[in-house]
Amino acid sequence: MQGQNQQQAYDRGITIFSPDGRLYQVEYAREAVKRGTASIGVRTPEGVVLVVDKQTRSPLLEGSSVEKLHKIDDHVGAASAGHVADARQLVDFARQQSQVERVRYDEPIGVRTLTKSVTDHIQQYTQVGGARPFGVALLIAGVEGGEPRLFETDPSGTSNEWKAVAIGSNRGDIQEFLEDEYDADLSVDDGIDLALRALNEGREDALSGDGVGVGIVDADTGTYRELAADESQSYIDDIEDAADDSDDDDEE
């Protein structure tokens, strides 16, 4: 009871600390992230893979309009989880930063620099009053100096760089799966395969080409592109074939 009341006392104000040094509004914004469908990033030597869950509420909804994968710049893509409209704001902010950098220095923005701009923007909403934090996490994937980079931003304005990471619903299980299965020498195809299998861990329904989104930043070309639904489907089919084979193996 006491704990309950005490918590209530601190979590209403946006910009204040609790007696144990926590910022409840930021922690609740993290809950908003968990309420979103999952997004997964996998970094391989050949490039970075982003896979998002796009399962739709109604067959009449156009899956293509579900905003989970976002092109930021030629060489950077992002996947989001959480409050959809908040994600759009951060993505727009990131695009503007990229454009500004290009205009100013005539070269593509560094992925780390871009991530820092975004997280600085997020931090402001956790310290200055008059607004709530952003209820969204981003995976920012890109190529910088030929190197694939994969960053995560969270609602506190912290960023981390990952080999492979999941955000959104069911993060715990998916991340555990990634930790078990990740290999530093994956090909991009392997990376897509790993991410799709990880996503499958947290779902009841079968995966489908329409129900997922796949984005790739290629290290060689330094460009981001999203797979068409049929391309995604073929990866899913391969996984299922492999699973069948595996079942066959079991039977043998």
Size of the site for a copy of itself (CB under 8 A): 78
Residues 117, 94 contacting (CB under 8 angstroms): yes
120 or 247: whose CB is closer to a copy of itself?
120
- 16 part of the interface to a copy of itself, by CB under 8 A: yes
Nearer to a copy of itself, 173 or 238 (CB): 173
Single-letter code of the amino acid located at 67: E
* Residue 104 binds a copy of itself (CB under 8 A): no
Cβ atoms of 40 and 165 closer than 8 Å: yes
User: CA-CA distance, 243 to 235, in Å (whole number)?
Assistant: 12
Residues 60-99 that bind a copy of itself (CB under 8 A): 60-62, 64-67, 82-86, 88-89, 92
Give the nearest distance from C-beta 138 to a copy of itself in angstroms.
Answer: 14
Task: For residue 234, give both structure tokens.
Answer: 């073929």
CA dihedral 57, 66, 161, 46 (to 10 degrees): 110
224 binds a copy of itself (CB under 8 A): no
User: Rounded to a whole number, what is the distance in angstroms from the first to the last CA of the chain?
Assistant: 58
Give the other-Cβ count within 10 Å of 237's Cβ: 12
By CB under 8 A, name the one of 95, 102, 163, 225 that touches a copy of itself.
Answer: 163
Q: Is 47 in the site for a copy of itself (CB under 8 A)?
A: no
Footprint on residues 178-207 left by a copy of itself (CB under 8 A): 178-179, 182
Among 39, 169, 170, 175, binds a copy of itself (CB under 8 A): 175
Q: Counting contacts by CB under 8 A, is residue 228 touching a copy of itself?
A: no
User: What is the dihedral sign for C-alpha 225, 228, 234, 235?
Assistant: positive
- How far is Cα 225 from Cα 210, in angstroms, rounded to an integer? 16
Of 65 and 145, nearer to a copy of itself (C-beta) is: 65
Q: What are phi and psi of 51, to 5 degrees?
A: -125, 130
Residue choice 133, 202, 209, 222 for contact with a copy of itself (CB under 8 A): 133
Radius of gyration over alpha carbons of the chain, in Å? Answer: 19
Query: CB under 8 A: which stretch of 71-79, 157-165, 187-195, 201-209 binds a copy of itself?
Result: 157-165
Quote the least distance from Cβ 248 to a copy of itself, whole Å: 31
